Structure 1
């Protein structure tokens, strides 16, 4: 599995200290996770899903972005 965090740190470290690069990478990944979870939660297909499927999708969204749980 590709370590996206390590790739981002490497890319960002060119113009930043290692600590700044790590913080920037974590921020980017957190924002991406939040956006992905919100897309799942607001999906049109989710509105038409069965209760079990909806529950599974919402649980997945909560795992992706636990800070934004419903």
Structure 2
């Protein structure tokens, strides 16, 4: 239950901070927020393989915690 609550709080925060006012640059983040909403609705914990990641840094997209340098 704590995961769903944290995810819900992140969704609300991201929508408020990013919003539509940032235009095309924010579309990746907003698509990721929509994916989180769908995960919440379906009570899923695993991130789908086709989840948007273009807004994340290279190390995050690769799933690596190592230093990207």
Name the TM tier (shorter chain): 0.3 to 0.5
Using structure 2 for the length normalisation, give the TM-score. 0.36
Q: Between Structure 1 and Structure 2, which shows a larger proportion of helix residues? A: 1
